[in-house]
Amino acid sequence: MRLPAPNYHPPFNITRASHAVWSVRDLDASEAFYTQVLGLVVTARENGRLYLRGLEEVCHHSMVLTRRGGAASCDRIGLRVFSEDDLDKAHSFFTGRGLPCAFAEIPHQGRTLHVSDPLGTAMELCAAMPLAERKLTRFHEHLGGCAQRFDHYQLLLPDLETAGEFYTAIGFRLSEYMVDASERLMALFVQRKGNPHDIAMMLGPGPRIHHAAYTTVDVHTLIRACDVAGSLGYGRSVERGPQRHGPGHALFVYFRDPDGHRVELFNTHYLTLDIEHQPARWDPSNMDRNLPWGLPAQRSWYEEATVFAGVAVREPAFKPNPVTLERYLAERS
Amino acid sequence: MRLPAPNYHPPFNITRASHAVWSVRDLDASEAFYTQVLGLVVTARENGRLYLRGLEEVCHHSMVLTRRGGAASCDRIGLRVFSEDDLDKAHSFFTGRGLPCAFAEIPHQGRTLHVSDPLGTAMELCAAMPLAERKLTRFHEHLGGCAQRFDHYQLLLPDLETAGEFYTAIGFRLSEYMVDASERLMALFVQRKGNPHDIAMMLGPGPRIHHAAYTTVDVHTLIRACDVAGSLGYGRSVERGPQRHGPGHALFVYFRDPDGHRVELFNTHYLTLDIEHQPARWDPSNMDRNLPWGLPAQRSWYEEATVFAGVAVREPAFKPNPVTLERYLAERS
Amino acid sequence: MRLPAPNYHPPFNITRASHAVWSVRDLDASEAFYTQVLGLVVTARENGRLYLRGLEEVCHHSMVLTRRGGAASCDRIGLRVFSEDDLDKAHSFFTGRGLPCAFAEIPHQGRTLHVSDPLGTAMELCAAMPLAERKLTRFHEHLGGCAQRFDHYQLLLPDLETAGEFYTAIGFRLSEYMVDASERLMALFVQRKGNPHDIAMMLGPGPRIHHAAYTTVDVHTLIRACDVAGSLGYGRSVERGPQRHGPGHALFVYFRDPDGHRVELFNTHYLTLDIEHQPARWDPSNMDRNLPWGLPAQRSWYEEATVFAGVAVREPAFKPNPVTLERYLAERS
Amino acid sequence: MRLPAPNYHPPFNITRASHAVWSVRDLDASEAFYTQVLGLVVTARENGRLYLRGLEEVCHHSMVLTRRGGAASCDRIGLRVFSEDDLDKAHSFFTGRGLPCAFAEIPHQGRTLHVSDPLGTAMELCAAMPLAERKLTRFHEHLGGCAQRFDHYQLLLPDLETAGEFYTAIGFRLSEYMVDASERLMALFVQRKGNPHDIAMMLGPGPRIHHAAYTTVDVHTLIRACDVAGSLGYGRSVERGPQRHGPGHALFVYFRDPDGHRVELFNTHYLTLDIEHQPARWDPSNMDRNLPWGLPAQRSWYEEATVFAGVAVREPAFKPNPVTLERYLAERS
C-alpha cells in the first residue's frame, strides 16, 4: 500500500465540508427531530424544503431536507470553496478529468457547481451563502444537543485507492487511515480546514453517505442530546454511543433521524495544520486501540447508509468484515 | 401484589449502605484498577487486605479487598447503624427472628455485628470506623473516575416478597419497584439515607451481589473513568454505559474489576425524605421508559454476579427473562 | 468558645430545609427570572402568589413569591418535619421554651406551625404538601440553571452562641463552623438531612435571610445559568461566582432576583451521616483556604440580605469585618 | 474609522500562532505551575530552557521558558508558516518594508526567521519543529487544566491603525473589533487558522504581550484548573474568571504564572473560514454585551503585561479608560 502523496498546490481552494441535502418523507417530523434533539436552528422552510443550520453558523444552511416520497436518499453533499474564482478553476479541473460538472441555480446559495467524484459521489461546491444570525450566545434558545456546526461527513466507497488519489489531487490532506494486515486501505480521513476531518471514507458498498457530523459544545450537551431524545420518545434513535472513537479521538453519539439518515454529534478534535504532521495509522484488528471503551457498534452502523439519489451502488473488490456488536457478543458467550 | 408497608419506627437505626468486603486474587492488580480507573484512595494495605475509600469519605474504608485464591466471592456487605445502642437493638432483633447474628472483631471498624437476611445475604453492621482524611478538595490527587462515596449495592435475590417484608421491617423505605404484568415483583429499591438507593434488589438466582455503586462528581468524571480505563488497557472492563437508567434516573457506567466484581459509577439522584413520596412503579416490558437511550445491557450484566462466600445460591420460583442486548439485536435483525 | 453538643434525641424530627416565602413587587418579572434563569417550575399561580419547585421536587412548592409593595422581605422560611406527630411535639417544645408558636392554615401545605427561633427568625414547619410531577427526566423542558431542589438557606444572625444552642437542641448537627482568633463564632453550618447544609448561619445584623440555595446537576448547568442570565439581560444579577467555596466545598453562583433576594445555585456536597464525623473548623483570616480561587465577594454579598417582614434587626455584639472584594483590591494596589 | 481591507493573496502563508518564549527566574517553580495547574507536558529541559507543549500538540514546543534574572520579559512570540518557501518570501517581505528581519539558529525548530512588526513586537517564524508524541488520549497522564494547544496571543499595542494595516497585509483576517464612540479602534482580533483568534490586539502602552492562550477540553477542565490551583496553593494566580467573554464568546480563566506572565485557558470558539463572514463590531461602553456575566476584570488585567526584552514601550496617542472592577465597584457603592 502506498499512501497518496499530499498536494500542497491544489487546482482550486476547498475550505471545508459544508452541507448535506437529504430527502425526507415528513418535514414536520424531521423539523421536530433536528431542532429538539440535535438543536439545529431553522433558517427557512419553503417549497417543500427545510433549511437548517448549527448554533454558530452564519451561513444560511448546513442541512437541507427535501420532502420526497420513496426511500430516503441524499441529493448532494456540499463543500465550500473560498472564492468565486475557485468555482471556475474547479470547473476546469472536473472538465479536464472528464468528471460530471455543471453549474446549477440553487436557492440560498451563491453560484453552485454540481460535480461527482470518480466513484459517483454527488457533490456541490459553492463559495458563499446568504448570512444568517449567529445563535451562539442566544443561550436561552439552545435546545437538545446544541449542534454547533457541520464539521464533516463520512462516505462508504468501494475503492479507497481511487478515492485517495482523487481527494489528495484536489488538496485534501490525509490525517488518519486504516489498513489491514494485507495492506489494503480500509479507511481514509482527509481534511482541508485543519482538524482531523472534512471527509471520512470507509471501504464498503457505495458511494453512500454514512453520516453527517456536527460538533457540539461539551460532554454535557452530548448527554443532553441523548436525554432529550429519551424524554421525547426518540430513545431508539440513539444508534451508538456515547463513546470515544479510536481514530480521530472524538467523543461521539450517532443518531438515526426519522428517515434513517445518520447524524453524529461529537466533541473534541485536534489541530492538524503543520506540514510535519504524519498521518496516524490504524489497524482494523486492534480492537483495544480502535474501541477504547470496549464495545463495537451494532451491525446497522457498519452496514446501513444513505444512497445518493440515482447513483448506483457498487461493491468493493474486497469485502470488509468488521467485528460488529452482534459478532462480538456471540464470540464472547 | 401488595407492596410492603413502610415501618417508620424501626427496631434499630440503619443510616446507610456503607461498604463491601470482596475477595481478589491479586492485590496489586486490584489496587491499580480501583485507584487509577475508579479513583478510590488507599487507606491501608496490610495482612493481605487492601482498604479503600472514596474521595469524600472520612470513614476508614468503604471497600475491603481480601487476597484469596479460587473463585471471586463477597465476604460481607456492610451497613452503618447510627450508634452503639443500635447494634444491641439489632442483635435483639435478629436473635428474635432466628436469623444468624454474632458480634465479630473486625480491624478498623467499631464493634461489628455479623448478620444474614432471610435469604442468606451476609451482612455486617457497625456504628463507627476510624477517621481518615477527606480528600474531596485535594483536587491535584484526584484520579480517573473520582469516585466520591459508596452509595448503594444491588443484590440478586430469589424471593423479593420475603426481601421486601424484611427490609421494610428494619426501616428501609421503598423508593421504586418493578412488577410484571402478572403483578410479580421484579425489582425493589429501598433506602435509609434519603436518596433513591441504599439497596437495589432484582429477582434472580441468589443471594448474590450484582454491584457496589459509588457516586461521582459529574458527567465529566464518568467519561474520564472510561477514558482512563481505555488508555490504561482496561477498555474491556467497561461493561455497560455511559447511559441513563430509567429507574432511579442515574447516569451510569458499569465496570468489571480484574476479578469480575462489578462496580457502578453514577451521578445524579433525587431526594426522597418526605413522607408523602410514593414509590415509583416500573413495568419491565416498557423498554422505552426503562431504557431511555435505547439499548439494553449485554447478557453478562443480567446474569453474572458475585456469590457470597459459603452461601448457597437458590433459583427464584419465577425466572425473569430480560431483553438482553443479544436478544434485542437478534430480534431486530 | 465551646461548640454546642450534639443532641441525638431531639424533641421532634425535622427532616430538612424546605421552602422560602418571599415578597416581590412584580410576579411576572419574578416568574421570568426564576423559570428561565434558575430553571424552577411553576406549580401554581393564584391569589397574588407564585408557587415554584425544583426539577426533582414532588412537593407542591419550595419557593412562594407573594406580590406585595414596599421593600422586599421574607415572610417565613420553611422546614419539613417527618410526620404530623412531630408538629404536635414541636408545638410543645416551642411553647415550653416560651417561643412564638401557632398553627396556621396555609394553602397547598399540610397542617402548618408558625414558630420563631430565639433570635426572631420567622419559620414554619409542616409535614406534607400536595404532590406534583417530578420533572427530573422531562429533559426537553429543563431551562437555564436546571435548579433541582431546595437544599439549604443562610441566615445572618446577631448571636451565634444562642443560635447554636437552639438549633442543636432541636436536633441539628454541626458540620462546619468558623471561629476567629478570639474564639468568637463567626459561622455555623448545621444539618438534618445528612449533607453539610440545611441552615448556614453567619454573624451579622439580623435575623435576616442571606440566601436560599438550590442544587443543580453539574458544572455545566451552573455555567448555563450564567449564560442564560447574560443572554436574557440578567447579567448583572450574577453577584458572585462561579467559584468554589472553602467551607462546604460547593461550586457555586449567587444571583440576585429582580427584588434583590439572593439565590445560590450550587453543585457537589459530601455526606455527613456518621456519628464519628467531626465538624470542620475554619479560620476567617485564612483567605487562601476559605477562598481557594482567590477573590472574595463584593461588599453587597457580605452586607445585603432580606429582612423578615415585621421582625426587627439587631446588631451583633461584635461586628465582623470581612475582607470584601473592594477591600482586597484596595489593599493590593 | 476604516477597517483594514482583507488581503486574500498574502505575500507568504502564515498558518497559525504557535509559541511563546518567556523568561522566568526559577525553572522548577515554572515547571510545577505549568505542568500541574495548566496541564502542559514537558518535551525537554536543557541549557536553562524548559520546552512545553499542550496535550494534543505534536510539535516540539509551544512554550519556551528561559531562566534569566531581572524583570520577566518575552523574548519572542512565534508564528508558523506553512513551508520553507514561505520563510524566504517572508524574508523578502520584511526586507522590502524595512522591518527587522534575520535568520537565526534556534534549537528544536526548523529554519527560523526573526522579525518585528512596525510597532516593535518581536516575533519569530518557522515552518517546522521536531515531532513529539500526541498525548491527547493518554488520559491517565492528564493533569490540572488539560491545556490542549496554543491557540492565540494578545498584544497591547500603542497604535491599532498601523497594526491593522500590517497584519492584514500579511494575510490575517479580521474577525472582531472594538471601536469607541469617536470611532477610534480599541481592539482588533485577527486570525489565520479559521477560528476567531490568532492574535488579539488591544490599544495600550506597548508593544507588550498581555497573554498566551491555550484551549482546554471542556468547562470541567477549566474548573479543574482552578481547583487544582487552589489545592496546590496557587489560588491567587487565578486573576480572572471563570467567566464568559463578550468578544469571541469564549469561556475563560486567566492565570498569572509565578513570574507574572498571564496565560488564558479557554473553551469554545466558532469557525470563521467563509468569505462572506463579516467582522463583529463591539462597543467598549456596552458593558452588558461585553461582559455578559456582569463583572469586569480587576485593574491588573487591564494594565499589566509582559514587555518584550529590549523593546521600548510607547504610549498610545489616546489612553483607553476601561471600567475596571475597582471602578465598577466604587461607582456602584
Q: Which residues pair with B63 in a beta bridge?
A: B20, B52
Q: Does A220 touch chain D (CB under 8 A)?
A: yes
**What pLDDT score was predicted for residue C151?**
97
Written as nine digits, the cell of B123 is 451482612
Cβ pair A82:D275 closer than 8 A: yes
Contacts of B292 in chain A (CB under 8 A): 226-227, 229-231, 235
Cβ pair C15:B56 closer than 8 A: no
Contacts of A227 in chain B (CB under 8 A): 244, 292-293
Give CA–CA dist C263/C256, Å, rounded.
Answer: 6
Check: pTM over 0.90? Answer yes or no: yes
Q: Does A127 touch chain D (CB under 8 A)?
A: yes
Contacts of C144 in chain A (CB under 8 A): 140
Q: Does C8 touch chain A (CB under 8 A)?
A: no
Cβ pair D224:B139 closer than 8 A: yes
- Tell me how many degrees the CA angle A43-A49-A55 measures, rounded to the nearest 5: 25
**What pLDDT score was predicted for residue A50?**
98
* Bridging pattern class, strands B173-179 and B280-282: parallel
CB-CB contact of A33 with A237 (8 Å): yes
A93-133 tens-digit pLDDT: 999 999 999 999 999 999 999 999 999 999 999 999 999 99
B70 CB neighbour count, 10 Å cutoff: 8
**What pLDDT score was predicted for residue A178?**
96
Q: Does C65 touch chain B (CB under 8 A)?
A: no
**What pLDDT score was predicted for residue B333?**
63
Provide the residue type at C181 as one letter: A
DSSP at C264: E
Give yes or no for residue C224 having a pLDDT over 80: yes
Cβ pair D143:B139 closer than 8 A: no
CB-CB contact of A60 with A135 (8 Å): no
Q: Which residues pair with A306 in a beta bridge?
A: A209
Look over chain B and give the mean of its residue pLDDT values, rounded to a whole number: 96
Measured distance between the N- and C-terminal CA atoms of chain D, rounded to whole angstroms: 36
Q: Does C37 touch chain D (CB under 8 A)?
A: no
Give CA–CA dist D333/D328, Å, rounded.
Answer: 9
Q: Does B275 touch chain C (CB under 8 A)?
A: yes
Q: Does D332 touch chain B (CB under 8 A)?
A: no
Cβ pair C249:B220 closer than 8 A: no
Give yes or no for residue C2 having a pLDDT over 90: no
Rg (CA), chain A: 19
The residue whose grid cell reads 520546552 is D51
Give CA–CA dist A250/A116, Å, rounded.
Answer: 29
Written as nine digits, the cell of D104 is 537565526
Residues C90-105 have a mean pLDDT of 98
**What pLDDT score was predicted for residue D333?**
64
Q: Does A304 touch chain B (CB under 8 A)?
A: no
Residues B234-247 have a mean pLDDT of 94
Closest by Cβ to A273, choosing from D8, D15, D217: D15
Cβ pair A140:C220 closer than 8 A: no
Cβ pair C329:D220 closer than 8 A: no
Q: Does C137 touch chain A (CB under 8 A)?
A: yes
The residue whose grid cell reads 468524571 is B221
How far, CA to CA in Å, does D197 sit from each of B156, B286, D49, D175, D212? 56, 50, 28, 8, 11
Distance of CA D317 to the CA centre of its chain: 24
Give yes or no for residue A288 having a pLDDT over 90: no
Residues B51-69 have a mean pLDDT of 97
Closest by Cβ to D294, choosing from C219, C236, C299: C236
Min mean pLDDT across A220-224, C146-150, C185-189, D246-250 is at: D246-250
Measured distance between the N- and C-terminal CA atoms of chain C, rounded to whole angstroms: 36
Q: Does C298 touch chain B (CB under 8 A)?
A: no
Shortest CA distance from A234: residue in chain C? C140
CB-CB contact of C39 with C144 (8 Å): yes
Closest by Cβ to B139, choosing from D137, D138, D228: D228
b/e burial code for range D189-212 (CB count within 10 A of at least 16 → b) = bbbbbbbbbbbbbbbbbbbbbbbb
Shortest CA distance from C32: residue in chain A? A140
Work out the pLDDT band at B288, boundaries 50, 70, 90: confident
Give CA–CA dist C316/C312, Å, rounded.
Answer: 13
Q: Neighbouring chains of D at 3+ CB pairs within 8 Å?
A: A, B, C
3-state secondary structure of B235: helix
Work out the pLDDT band at C333, boundaries 50, 70, 90: low
D110-168 tens-digit pLDDT: 999 999 999 999 999 999 999 999 999 999 999 999 999 999 999 999 999 999 999 99
> Could you tell me how many CB contacts below 8 A there are between chain A and chain B?
81
CA distance D132 to chain A (A): 10
Closest by Cβ to C227, choosing from D244, D329, D330: D244
Shortest CA distance from A289: residue in chain B? B230
H or E element at residue D263: strand D262-267
Q: What is the CATH number of domain D14-332?
A: 3.10.180.10
Q: Does C144 touch chain A (CB under 8 A)?
A: yes
How far, CA to CA in Å, does C332 sit from each of B119, D236, D303? 67, 12, 14
Shortest CA distance from C235: residue in chain D? D293
Shortest CA distance from B217: residue in chain D? D220
Q: Does A70 touch chain B (CB under 8 A)?
A: no
Give CA–CA dist A202/A212, Å, rounded.
Answer: 14
Of B319, B307, B298, B310, residue with least CA distance to B155: B307
Helix and strand element counts for chain C (H, E):
7, 18
Name, in order, each residue with C-beta under 8 angstroms of D210's C-beta and a sequence gap of 6 or more: D153, D154, D155, D156, D200, D202, D262, D305, D306
A positions 224-253 inside 8 Å of B (CB): 226-227, 229-231, 233, 235-239, 242, 244, 251
C258-285 tens-digit pLDDT: 999 999 999 978 999 999 999 999 999 8
CB-CB contact of D14 with D110 (8 Å): no
C positions 80-99 inside 8 Å of A (CB): none
Closest by Cβ to C231, choosing from A138, A143, A144: A138
CA distance C32 to chain A (A): 12
A69-82 tens-digit pLDDT: 999 999 999 999 99
3-state secondary structure of B165: helix
> Could you tell me how many CB contacts below 8 A there are between chain B and chain D?
35
Shortest CA distance from C288: residue in chain D? D235
b/e burial code for range C6-41 (CB count within 10 A of at least 16 → b) = eeeebbbbbbbbbbbbbbbeeeeebbebbbbbbbbb
Q: What is the dihedral of CA D90, D92, D97, D100, to 10 degrees?
A: 70
Of C260, C265, C264, C266, residue with least CA distance to C305: C260
Give yes or no for a cis peptide into B247 (omega within 30° of 0). no
Give CA–CA dist C212/C152, Å, rounded.
Answer: 6
Cβ pair B288:A236 closer than 8 A: yes
**What pLDDT score was predicted for residue C269?**
83
Shortest CA distance from B291: residue in chain A? A235
Q: Neighbouring chains of B at 3+ CB pairs within 8 Å?
A: A, C, D
Q: Does A143 touch chain C (CB under 8 A)?
A: yes
Q: Does B268 touch chain A (CB under 8 A)?
A: no
C15-61 tens-digit pLDDT: 999 999 999 999 999 999 999 999 999 999 999 999 999 999 999 99
Residues D239-267 have a mean pLDDT of 96
B83 CB neighbour count, 10 Å cutoff: 15
Greatest CA separation for chain B:
59
Provide the residue type at A265 as one letter: L
Q: What is the 3-state secondary structure (H, E, C) of chain A?
A: CCCCCCCCCCCCCEEEEEEEEEEECCHHHHHHHHHHHHCCEEEEEECCEEEEECCCCCECCCEEEEECCCCCEEEEEEEEECCHHHHHHHHHHHHHHCCCEEEECCCCCCCEEEEECCCCCEEEEECCCCECCCCCCCHHHCCCCCCCEEEEEEEEECCHHHHHHHHHHCCCEEEEEEECCCCCEEEEEEECCCCCCCEEEEECCECEEEEEEEECCCHHHHHHHHHHHHHCCCHHHEEEEEEECCCCCCEEEEEECCCCCEEEEEECCCCCCCCCCCCEEECCCCHHHHCCCCCCCCHHHHHCCEEECCCCCECCCCCCCCCCHHHHHHHHC
Q: Neighbouring chains of A at 3+ CB pairs within 8 Å?
A: B, C, D
Q: Does C32 touch chain A (CB under 8 A)?
A: no
CB-CB contact of C268 with B217 (8 Å): yes
Q: What is the dihedral of CA D233, D235, D239, D243, to 10 degrees?
A: 140
CB-CB contact of B199 with B157 (8 Å): no
CB-CB contact of A320 with A186 (8 Å): yes
- Tell me how many degrees the CA angle B78-B80-B82 measures, rounded to the nearest 5: 165
Name, in order, each residue with C-beta under 8 angstroms of D14's C-beta and a sequence gap of 6 or more: D79, D80, D81, D82, D86, D125, D170, D171, D172, D192, D198
Give CA–CA dist C196/C186, Å, rounded.
Answer: 17
The percent of residues in chain B predicted with pLDDT above 90, rounded, is: 92
Contacts of C237 in chain A (CB under 8 A): none
**What pLDDT score was predicted for residue A268?**
74
Work out the pLDDT band at B61, boundaries 50, 70, 90: very high
Cβ pair A238:B293 closer than 8 A: yes
Probe site for chain D from B141, B223, B231, B237 (most D CB atoms < 10 A): B231
Work out the pLDDT band at C157, boundaries 50, 70, 90: very high
CA distance C87 to chain A (A): 39
Look over chain C and give the mean of its residue pLDDT values, rounded to a whole number: 96
Q: Which residues pair with A252 in a beta bridge?
A: A243, A266
Give CA–CA dist A146/D139, Å, rounded.
Answer: 26
A positions 160-189 inside 8 Å of D (CB): none
How far, CA to CA in Å, does C199 sit from each of B9, C195, D157? 26, 11, 51
Contacts of B234 in chain D (CB under 8 A): none
Give DSSP secondary structure letters for B87-101: HHHHHHHHHHHT--E
